[in-house]
Amino acid sequence: MPRTLVPRRRACVIIVENLPVPFDRHVWQQALALRDADWAVTVICPTGPSAQLKHERLEGIEIYRHGLPLEARGGLAGYALEYGAALFHELRLLIRVALKGRFDVIHACNPPDVIFLVAAPFKLFGVRFVFDQHDLSPELYESRFGRTLTHRMLLLFEKLSFKMADHVLASNETFREIALERGGKSPEQVSVVHTIPDALHLRVAEPDRTARRGKRLVVGYLGIIGFQDGLDHLVEAVARLHAEGLTDFQVVIIGDGPALESLSEKIETANLTALFTLTGYLSGASLWAHLADFDVGVIPDPRNAFNDKISMNKVFEYSALGIPIVSYRLKETARLLGDAGAYAPDDTPAGLADALREMLQNDDLRKRKAKQALAVAREKFDWAREASSLVAAYDRLKPPG
């Protein structure tokens, strides 16, 4: 009796350096979407405070983690050390995965834009390469350090990533245009997949009111605490409000990152310790309970060539939870939110203070903006649509199977 050949299940390896999985929400959602489309999914990522296991299987996803003790603070030497360590571990783990079984796609999530180096040897064996551009590394570097030699190197790495990519995943339409123009890709080689949270995984929780320390209102921040994220602007804006006598609010910052120590020092220097609660990294029930206590969600990222182009995860997360949003008038943020956002009148901490003041003192405005933000999220921000775009991009790769 003839044997029936069972097609081999296609397999992919997602590499991310920025955050551990599953705590990198967007990467985790991508992994689950591909799993649901019958891909065998492996993720290679760094360890983190709540993700110390070097190998585990979660919800059908194989996860391999590596230590990454170094973080670049600027300059070629710093980036060479950080990225060199990451590339070593990523190649080591890719080989380990390859020895266990064949995979068809390597999916590299930037930053950094050098993961193509570890994928290159596997291209010789027919493995396809997907460049998932979460950030614009050249613009991010320029916003902090200017157009130095390192900036030119980052442009080169981005160009090489585009050149080697069989397909590019762009985080928004601006990123898509960059892939077409700066990267030289054809429209068929680029798909837009926004970093929208999956509404099915959002949780409406009872608020945890301990972080507000008895204050009437909470101004909340959720995200990575990086040097480019504008938290110094937030401290200065709060200092202005405090000097005016507006103190019936607490600033609750949820997250961790390389600028945490610097942020703590700025808060202490400004004598604002009593007005700030730094929770550190939160997940699960504790995260949802703290988010439920936000009366205002702040996006303090300043105007620059980088922030104007990126789709802030905070926009999607705050709006999906019906949290009114205060930010600078960043181009992409304003495009996403429209009139649902409350924007600083200018690009200074004083302007941010003005927008926060109005939101804190006007209960009707706060309620109206909350309803508008939730309506925008329900109308425009649909992860199922983004997941379909991701799976369609993979289907177009047609890896040998």
Q: What would the pLDDT profile of 147-173 be if each residue is shown by its tens digit?
A: 988 899 999 999 999 999 999 999 999
Whole-angstrom distance, CA of residue 259 vs CA of residue 232: 10
Whole-angstrom distance, CA of residue 18 vs CA of residue 122: 22
Q: 33-78 pLDDT, tens per residue? A: 999 999 999 999 999 877 899 999 999 999 999 997 556 555 567 6
Neighbours of 240 (CB within 10 A): 16
Region for 167 from its dihedrals, namely left if φ exceeds 0, alpha if ψ lies in -120 to 50, beta otherwise: beta
Percent of the chain with pLDDT strictly greater than 90: 81
Residues of the chain with CATH 3.40.50.2000: 11-196+382-397, 201-380
- Phi/psi at 397 (5° precision): -70, -30
For residue 36 the two structure tokens come to: 């649901």
CA 261 to chain centre: 21
Region for 20 from its dihedrals, namely left if φ exceeds 0, alpha if ψ lies in -120 to 50, beta otherwise: beta
Whole-angstrom distance, CA of residue 33 vs CA of residue 187: 23
Instruction: Judge if pTM exceeds 0.85.
Output: yes
Whole-angstrom distance, CA of residue 378 vs CA of residue 76: 44
Q: 2-23 pLDDT, tens per residue? A: 555 556 789 999 999 988 999 8
Q: 293-311 pLDDT, tens per residue? A: 999 999 999 999 999 999 9
Q: Report pLDDT for 7.
A: 67
Q: 315-354 pLDDT, tens per residue? A: 999 999 999 999 999 999 999 999 999 999 999 999 999 9
**CATH annotation of 11-196+382-397:** 3.40.50.2000
Q: 354-398 pLDDT, tens per residue? A: 999 999 999 999 999 999 999 999 999 999 999 999 999 999 996
- The structural architecture, per CATH, of the domain 201-380 is 3-Layer(aba) Sandwich (3.40)
The residue type found at 233 is: H
The residue type found at 141 is: Y
Whole-angstrom distance, CA of residue 389 vs CA of residue 242: 46
Pairing label, strands 61-66, 55-58? antiparallel
> Does position 401 have pLDDT exceeding 70, yes or no?
no
**Of 1, 21, 27, 122, the residue nearest 66 (C-alpha):** 21
